[in-house]
């Protein structure tokens, strides 16, 4: 599970007295900065709250767990099933093809992309041409 939101926003409360003679003790909204009451996460519409990476055989229990968890969050939550491989940016077919030719290498939760172009490949090609092997 990857939790995508963290509560960094501090909410504050300006406590007001509600007894007789309270008007002499407080200043209303003047200097109403308030004391810290708690922290919250600021969420935009459509922003993912959490992500889960699992094998295909565990797909149904994970969906059920997320369905139960979404009632703990305010608002209407959706469960979205991605076509990507794990937490990578590659589709399933694209991932399997690139793994077989060695273009990407698994690296923990994500992968390392190894492009075929770049200064090192160009240098090796030049060296092979100079040696008469290419």
CATH of the domain at 119: 3.30.60.300
| 100 lies in some domain | yes
Residue 112 · residue 104 · CB < 8 Å: yes
Please give the pLDDT value at position 27: 66
Instruction: Give this prediction's pTM.
Output: 0.66
Two structure tokens written together for 27:
């200043």
Please give the pLDDT value at position 47: 93
Please give the pLDDT value at position 25: 59
| 104 lies in some domain | yes
Residue 87 · residue 110 · CB < 8 Å: yes
| 75 lies in some domain | no
| 105 lies in some domain | yes
Residue 40 · residue 21 · CB < 8 Å: no
What sign does the CA torsion over 34, 35, 37, 42 have? positive
Please give the pLDDT value at position 24: 62
User: Tens digits of per-residue pLDDT, 74-94?
Assistant: 999 999 999 999 889 999 999
Two structure tokens written together for 71:
């009632």
User: Tens digits of per-residue pLDDT, 4-58?
Assistant: 999 999 999 887 767 666 556 566 677 778 899 999 999 999 999 999 999 999 9
Look up the domain containing 126 and give its range.
Answer: 88-134
Q: Which of 39, 55, 53 is nearest to 5 (CA)?
A: 39
User: Tens digits of per-residue pLDDT, 94-134?
Assistant: 999 999 988 888 888 889 888 777 788 877 887 888 888 86
| 17 lies in some domain | no
| 126 lies in some domain | yes
Residue 114 · residue 105 · CB < 8 Å: yes
What phi and psi, each to the nearest 5 degrees, are found at residue 121?
Answer: -65, -40
User: For 122, which DSSP code?
Assistant: H
Please give the pLDDT value at position 28: 67
The number of distinct structural domains making up the chain is 1
Two structure tokens written together for 116:
């075929």
């Amino acid at each position: 599970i990857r939790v995508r939101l963290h509560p960094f926003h501090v909410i504050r409360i300006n406590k007001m007295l509600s007894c007789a003679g309270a008007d002499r003790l407080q200043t209303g909204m003047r200097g109403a900065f308030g004391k810290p009451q708690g922290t919250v996460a600021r969420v935009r519409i459509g922003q993912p709250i959490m992500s889960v990476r699992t094998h295909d055989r565990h797909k149904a229990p994970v969906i059920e767990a997320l369905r139960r968890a979404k009632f703990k969050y305010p608002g209407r939550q959706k469960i979205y099933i991605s076509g990507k491989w794990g937490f990578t940016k590659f589709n399933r077919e694209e991932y399997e093809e690139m793994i077989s030719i060695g273009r990407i290498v698994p690296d923990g939760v994500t992968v390392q992309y190894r492009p075929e172009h770049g200064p090192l490949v160009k240098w090796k090609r030049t060296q092979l041409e100079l040696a008469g092997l290419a």
